[in-house]
């Protein structure tokens, strides 16, 4: 096989505010790769099939000297994130040609890794019923995020009320369904009529468009709440603090309203934590992985395969679109969990 182009999604510069495709995130085709002969040195050659685009990626587009919970992207290198790949060649005993892996991968057509463990990749069995993109969404990081933190922190009791922001997203929509399974009343917010419709299909008792209805008003009418699943922070979090019952549990999954603002989105009523004996739990999914992974794979894939759990993906095509998709996700313009289909097997 002659050399082929190894398209790469490069981090070229640090954005101020929203990331600019073609400037901060640049698709590059200058690298070539000889798939048959490139030396693996005992490692594994991967072909990228699907990659995920997620809100938290904005936080990685920073000066690497600023510490945070995830590494900064490296300037002039491919960005990394959650993806699915198939093994092209392997000199490792861990995997063989044709095996599927998911986990942290470089956003380029082909990449060579030393082994699975040091790169946070794991092999998975591809059930024929489920498309590969499912392993980016409801069976990937977003699905694990929802399941593991709900199990760990919600302390949900039948008859309670939960509020879920970004309730049509890949995480929020599963949270809504988990809360309904636990017998809760569920209020979901999202930013479009389609998303409101999807939240209703997921079983939300109250689903509203926060661009049309004021969150505080809705919570005053439909609350008080016992659990708040936060994906946005800012004013929505303030409204939830005001609308919480005594002993409310707040699960902090994301604060997208803070990510593109230098000043952050200040919270002015944190004294409600005292007034109402609230608990706030921040978390990162992979820190819960060891404790809940087995339970996740036992519980969720069968419910997805038999259609009990609903999920949605918006599939984009081609690595060259990743920059645009990143921006769309930061602005909330995607209609569902954003997946970029990179290549067929």
Residues within the interface to a second copy (CB under 8 A): 68-69, 233, 237, 252-255, 258, 263-284, 287
Burial label for 183, CB within 10 Å (0-12, 13-18, 19+), is exposed
Q: 91 phi and psi, to 5 degrees?
A: -110, 10
Q: Which structure tokens are listed for 305?
A: 């395969």
Give me the least distance between CB of 254 and a second copy, in Å please. Answer: 7
**Within 13 Å and on the Cβ side, how many CA atoms surround 206?**
21
The separation between CA 296 and the C-alpha centre of its own chain, rounded to angstroms, equals 16
Whose Cβ is closer to a second copy: residue 93's or residue 271's?
Answer: 271
Give me the least distance between CB of 277 and a second copy, in Å please. Answer: 5
Give me the least distance between CB of 61 and a second copy, in Å please. Answer: 15
Whose Cβ is closer to a second copy: residue 77's or residue 242's?
Answer: 242
CA dihedral 232, 236, 240, 241 (to 10 degrees): 90
Give me the least distance between CB of 139 and a second copy, in Å please. Answer: 23
Helix (H/G/I), strand (E/B), else coil: 193: helix
Element (H, E) at 51: strand 44-53
Q: How far apart are CA 85 and CA 135, in angstroms?
A: 11
Whose Cβ is closer to a second copy: residue 280's or residue 303's?
Answer: 280
Give me the least distance between CB of 56 and a second copy, in Å please. Answer: 9
Whose Cβ is closer to a second copy: residue 251's or residue 338's?
Answer: 251
Whose Cβ is closer to a second copy: residue 95's or residue 237's?
Answer: 237
CB 108 within 8 A of CB 33: no
DSSP 324: H
CB 148 within 8 A of CB 292: yes
Whose Cβ is closer to a second copy: residue 148's or residue 336's?
Answer: 148
Q: Burial code of 74-108, b = ≥16 C-beta within 10 A, e = fewer?
A: eeeebbbbbbbbbbbbbebeebeeebbbbbebbbb
Give me the least distance between CB of 44 and a second copy, in Å please. Answer: 30
DSSP 213: S
Give me the least distance between CB of 11 and a second copy, in Å please. Answer: 20
Whose Cβ is closer to a second copy: residue 135's or residue 153's?
Answer: 153
> Which residue in the block uniquely carries the two structure tokens 């980016």?
136
């Amino acid at each position: 096989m002659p050399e082929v182009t190894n398209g790469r999604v490069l981090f070229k510069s640090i954005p101020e505010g929203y990331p600019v495709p073609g400037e901060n995130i640049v698709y590059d085709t200058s690298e070539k790769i000889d798939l048959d002969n490139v030396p693996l040195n005992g490692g594994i050659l991967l072909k990228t099939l699907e990659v995920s685009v997620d809100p938290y990626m904005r936080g990685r587009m920073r000066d690497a000297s600023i510490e945070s919970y995830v590494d900064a992207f490296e300037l002039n290198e491919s960005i990394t994130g959650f993806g699915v790949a198939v093994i092209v060649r392997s000199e490792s005993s861990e995997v063989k040609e044709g095996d599927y892996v998911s986990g942290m991968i470089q956003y380029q057509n082909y990449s060579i890794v030393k082994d699975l463990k040091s790169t946070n990749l794991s092999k998975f069995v591809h059930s024929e019923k489920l498309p590969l993109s499912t392993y980016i969404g409801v069976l990937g990081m977003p699905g694990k995020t929802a399941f593991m933190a709900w199990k760990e922190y919600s302390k949900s009791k039948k008859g309670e009320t939960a509020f879920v922001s970004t309730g049509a997203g890949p995480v929020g929509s599963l949270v809504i369904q988990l809360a309904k399974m636990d017998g809760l009343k569920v209020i979901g917010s999202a930013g479009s009529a389609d998303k409101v419709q999807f939240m209703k299909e997921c079983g939300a008792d109250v689903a509203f468009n926060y661009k049309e209805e004021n969150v505080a008003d809705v919570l005053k009418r439909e609350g008080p709440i016992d659990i708040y699943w936060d994906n946005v922070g800012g004013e929505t979090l303030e409204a939830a603090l005001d609308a919480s019952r005594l002993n409310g549990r707040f699960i902090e999954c994301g604060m997208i309203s803070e990510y593109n603002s230098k000043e952050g989105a200040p919270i002015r009523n944190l004294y409600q934590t005292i007034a109402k004996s609230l608990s706030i739990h921040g978390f990162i999914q992979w820190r819960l992985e060891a404790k809940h992974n087995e339970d996740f794979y036992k519980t969720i894939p069968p419910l997805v395969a038999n259609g009990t759990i609903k999920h949605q993906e918006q599939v984009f095509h081609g690595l060259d679109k990743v920059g645009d998709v990143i921006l769309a996700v930061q602005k909330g313009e995607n209609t569902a969990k954003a997946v970029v289909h990179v290549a067929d097997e």
